[in-house]
């Protein structure tokens, strides 16, 4: 046996002992590292699969909207054209978008991902919630399904599909950053229960769908904060769906006006038991028009509206529904929780301020 072969034999014989006795932690660490890498890859694959599934399901129902014939742009400068996004929600061609995308347009054309292009008509629009319903020819068009925004959780996946800067059918993903926000539309009215997201939105995304991980629409993308990153907003789909129903029925949304901004808030359980309240939540007054009917009646910021006109108010949507069903000029009783005691007022909703905007 040569020295070299002996050395190799000794080395081979010693290596298992050296490995097992000297590096047990290293072996464990390597195994743990491989497991962590596999877990990270699995999580990433799951997230990617979710985004891909949503894009495949809702993308074909998302449209590009081109408008022509407006005399002025929203900034007041002359502009004959513009564009935005929308999504089909029925197979016969009804679609939702933002009011500011189509307001004042003489011609509206809708382009589908399939390459088909159609002229659209406005079924109705509601500038106060920045929503509009359009119609194109069906009969069997790809369409998106509505989800429920009242059950949204902060941190859940939010996926936006639209046409930012004319780049057609762009998908961005993020999370629900907050719920229950208020947003002032260009009509000057506060829209309540707005969804905040960090899914990137840009000009051209307006009117497109914000979608949850189950491929159901949770909001209608509407606005971003200028000079900010990751602060974007969508009209909650519960509000949008209700507005769409009203627009389909009448072409407009007729509502009384209280002069309040509000958001849905839970009632303190202990206080509810003391006062005998059975409803879990109410409409919390966050803003108050000092010249409006509510302020004149004695309502204050911080009050919780429990009932209006004999109807229970458990959410902002309830408040909107009641005001839309009750004509302006009719006296109603409003019950509020102020601090730890109940108050009741007689209030007469007025007509909403006239919508005036150059488009």
pLDDT of residue 232: 93
Which residue intervals of the chain bear CATH 2.40.10.10? 60-135, 146-249
pLDDT of residue 357: 33
Beta-carbon count within 10 A of 209 CB: 32
Distance from C-alpha of 99 to C-alpha of 207, rounded to nearest angstrom: 8
pLDDT of residue 253: 83
**Active site members:** 100, 130, 206
Select the more confidently predicted residue: 196 or 41: 196
Q: Are 149 and 193 in contact (CB under 8 A)?
A: yes
pLDDT of residue 12: 40
CATH architecture for segment(s) 60-135: Beta Barrel (2.40)
146-249 sits in which CATH class?
mainly beta
**CA 103 to chain centroid:** 21
Task: Tell me the pLDDT tens digit for each residue of 55-85.
Answer: 999 999 999 999 998 655 444 444 578 899 9
pLDDT band of residue 230 (cuts 50, 70, 90) is confident
Task: Tell me the pLDDT tens digit for each residue of 305-323.
Answer: 999 999 999 988 788 778 8
Position 4 pLDDT exceeds 60 = no
Q: Are 184 and 190 in contact (CB under 8 A)?
A: yes
Q: Does domain 260-347 have CATH number 3.40.50.300?
A: no
Strand pairing partners for 118? 110
76-83: long-range contacts (C-beta < 8 A, 24 or more apart)? Answer: 76/358, 83/163, 83/166, 83/204
Task: Tell me the pLDDT tens digit for each residue of 5-21.
Answer: 444 443 343 344 444 45
Which residue intervals of the chain bear CATH 2.30.42.10? 260-347
Position 186 pLDDT exceeds 80 = no
Q: Are 222 and 237 in contact (CB under 8 A)?
A: no
Position 97 pLDDT exceeds 70 = yes
Q: Are 181 and 233 in contact (CB under 8 A)?
A: yes
> Residue 29: phi, psi to the nearest 5?
-65, -40
pLDDT of residue 193: 82
- Average per-residue pLDDT for the chain: 84
Compute the average pLDDT of residues 256-274.
91
């Amino acid at each position: 046996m040569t020295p070299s072969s002996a050395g190799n034999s000794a080395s081979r014989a010693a290596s298992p002992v050296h490995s097992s006795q000297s590096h047990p932690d290293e072996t464990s660490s390597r195994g743990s590292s491989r497991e962590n890498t596999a877990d990270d890859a699995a999580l990433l694959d799951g997230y990617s699969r979710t985004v891909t599934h949503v894009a495949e399901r809702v993308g074909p129902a998302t449209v590009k909207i081109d408008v022509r014939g407006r005399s002025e742009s929203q900034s007041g400068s002359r502009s004959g054209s513009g564009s935005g996004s929308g999504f089909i929600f029925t197979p016969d061609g009804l679609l939702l978008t933002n009011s500011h995308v189509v307001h004042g347009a003489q011609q509206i054309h809708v382009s589908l991902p399939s390459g088909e292009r159609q002229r659209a008509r406005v079924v109705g629009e509601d500038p106060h919630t920045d929503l509009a319903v359009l119609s194109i020819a069906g009969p069997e068009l790809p369409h998106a399904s509505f989800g429920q925004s009242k059950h949204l959780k902060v941190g859940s996946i939010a996926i936006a599909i639209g046409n930012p800067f004319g780049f057609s059918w762009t998908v961005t993903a993020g999370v629900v950053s907050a719920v229950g926000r208020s947003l002032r539309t260009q009509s000057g009215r506060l829209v309540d229960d707005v969804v905040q997201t960090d899914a990137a939105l840009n000009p051209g995304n307006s009117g497109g769908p914000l979608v949850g991980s189950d491929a159901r629409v949770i909001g209608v993308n509407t606005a971003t904060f200028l000079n900010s990153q990751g602060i974007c907003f969508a009209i909650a789909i519960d509000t949008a769906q209700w507005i769409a129903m009203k627009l389909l029925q009448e072409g407009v949304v007729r509502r009384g006006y209280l002069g309040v901004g509000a958001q849905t808030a839970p009632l303190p359980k202990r206080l509810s038991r003391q006062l005998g309240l059975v409803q879990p939540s109410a409409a919390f007054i966050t803003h108050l028009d000092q010249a409006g009917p509510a302020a004149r009646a004695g309502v204050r910021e911080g009050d919780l509206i429990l009932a209006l006109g004999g109807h229970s108010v458990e959410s902002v949507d309830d408040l909107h529904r009641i005001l839309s069903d009750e004509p302006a000029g009719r006296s109603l009783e409003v019950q509020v929780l102020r601090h730890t005691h109940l108050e009741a007022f007689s209030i007469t909703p007025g007509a909403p301020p006239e919508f005036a905007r150059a488009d």
